[in-house]
Structure 1
Amino acid sequence: MQRIEAVVFDWGGVLIDNPASPLMDYCARTFGVSVQQYTQAHDRHGEAFQKGWITEETFWQRVCGDLSRPLPRADSLWGQAFRAVYRPRAEVSALAGRLHGRGYKTALLSNTEAPAMKFFLELGPPMFDAAVFSCAEGVCKPQREIYEIAGRELATPADRCILIDDRFAFVEGAWNAGMKGVVYESVAQVRRELAALGVETE
């Protein structure tokens, strides 16, 4: 078995509480519609926004057109909403920091939108050697290309990288790209699975 040299972390659902439902709630309240109504409109245009194919301005024009609501007043409603619902998991960040301190390369790999990427870059967490965002690359997990981009950013062969993600489909995408993968359930469970792969977490 090849020695693991790099550990790649998902953001929402691993490093932070999954923001998806709170974001839908926040935006639905902002527009005065039901969560179901907002989610349906969001889902029609969210993939293009997440892949960086459209700007936030265009995204809201389309969503508000579907909802028959005026455009938001905020310069970046998505950025405002993301900051409002952001809940970091200190124990996962600590794990990433320990791995980095032990000489493992570490990276973030996230399907996310440009305003959220901007927020991450403002935070500038020091434990990551690279950060790969779907909105900057034009592709999303589980597309093979985004895992290959992460490997190149880390200058590490795929079979020496491992992805930690809370969604099985995205871990499966990592497997298909030649990486190892762990489906996140808890920090303790991730430590056990990393240890089984020879990764020193303590």
Structure 2
Amino acid sequence: MTTSKLSGRPFDAVLCDLDNVIRFYDTTELTSLERAAGLAEGTTEKVAFAPETDLPLLLGEITEEQWVESIVAGLADQVPEARARELGTALAKAPFRADDAVVAMLLRARAHVPLVLVTNATVELEDDLVSLGLADLADHVVSSARVGVAKPDRRIYEIAVRRAGVAADRCLFVDDRLENVEAATALGMTGLHYREPAGLRGALGSLLDG
């Protein structure tokens, strides 16, 4: 990381992913249903998150209900239709929670620099943030379903940088997917491949101490 002579900070904005960094899903029910159906754990998610199934949802082109029907179609050769719909619905309706430690760190960082959420999300994102109590967590939210482009497409990063109001090379980008981090660093950002809160704590450094 380089330090700005003007700010004395290693970066002047934090761009952060949502899922698997801040928000985590509980797929216990889905796992139980897969086991009962004789499917390997993760079978439903493999179908649901395949680009041809997932991307239309993340670009706001289809509804959650239509996504579930796509999952049903993708599981058609493995389980009966009714069971496939049960599995798809369990995934779509899986409960979620926020990691309080991560939220606390981001709020402390935001006291010093802009915070922008950059997430591949559905049109339900705003309601989800309200339910998590995080509607006011960030200065800006860049949702793929609202801007019509998803990570790792460089355009969503460029939108986020503009909203942050700083140069790309003055941004810290945090994401749990390596391909998304690599796309950010290709634009000059400092990247953090998120694994656990300790890594984020180290990357935020002086922002948490100031």
TM more than 0.5: yes
Shift of 1:41: 3.8
Alignment of 1:125-136 (within 5 A): 125-136=135-146
- State the Cα distance separating 1:154 from its structure 2 match: 1.6
1:99 counterpart (70, 87, 109): 109
- Counterparts of 1:79 and 1:37, CA distance in 2: 11
RMSD of aligned residue pairs (Cα, Å): 3.1
2:180 matched to which residue of 1?
170
Paired residues of 2:31 and 2:42 also in contact (CA < 8 A): no
Kept in 2: contact 1:26–1:81 (CA 8 A):
no
Give the secondary structure class of the aligned counterpart of 2:67. Answer: helix
Q: Is the 8 A contact 2:30 2:91 kept in 1?
A: no
The structure 1 residue matched to 2:124, chosen from 115, 118, 137, is 115
Q: Deviations over 1:49-86 (max 9, x none)?
A: 1122222233233333444536969xxx589614x1x1
Give the AA of the match of 2:63: T
Matched, 1:38 2:44: yes
Asked if 1:5 is matched to 2:12, the reply is yes
Alpha-carbon distance in structure 1 between the residues aligned to 2:157 and 2:139: 15
Q: 1:54 aligns with which of 57, 62, 71?
A: 62
Query: Matches of 2:101 and 2:168 in 1, distance apart?
Result: 26
The equivalent of 2:100 in structure 1 is 90
Q: Residue 128 of structure 1: SS of its match in structure 2?
A: coil
2:93 aligned to which of 66, 77, 81: 81
Report the Cα distance in structure 2 between the residues aligned to 1:116 and 1:164, rounded to whole angstroms.
Answer: 19
Kindly report structure 1 stretches of 4+ aligned residues shifted beyond 4 Å. 26-29, 70-73, 77-80
Unaligned runs of 5+ in 1: none
Task: For residue 145 of structure 1, report the CA deviation from its aligned partner.
Answer: 0.7
Structure of higher CA gyration radius: 2
- Counterparts in 2 of 1:45 and 1:165: CA distance versus 1, 3 Å: same
The equivalent residue for 1:183 is 193
Which AA in structure 2 matches 1:14?
V
Q: Work out the percentage of aligned pairs sharing the same amino acid.
A: 25
- Which letter maps to 2:196? S
Matched-pair contact (CA < 8 Å) for 1:27–1:38: no
CA, structure 1 residues 134+78, in 2 after alignment: closer, same or farther (shift >3 Å)? farther
Question: How has the CA–CA distance of structure 1 residues 98 and 72 changed in structure 2, closer, same or farther, with 3 Å as cutoff?
Answer: same
Provide the C-alpha distance between the structure 2 equivalents of 1:56 and 1:27, rounded to a whole number of angstroms.
Answer: 22
Letter in 1 for 2:12: E
Which residue of 1 is the match for residue 159 of structure 2? 149
TM-score, normalised via structure 1 length: 0.77
Query: Over residues 13-33 of structure 1, what are the superposed CA-to-partner deviations in whole Å (9 max), with x where a residue is unaligned?
Result: 11123x3x828927966xx68
Distance in 1, Cα, partners of 2:195 & 2:74: 36
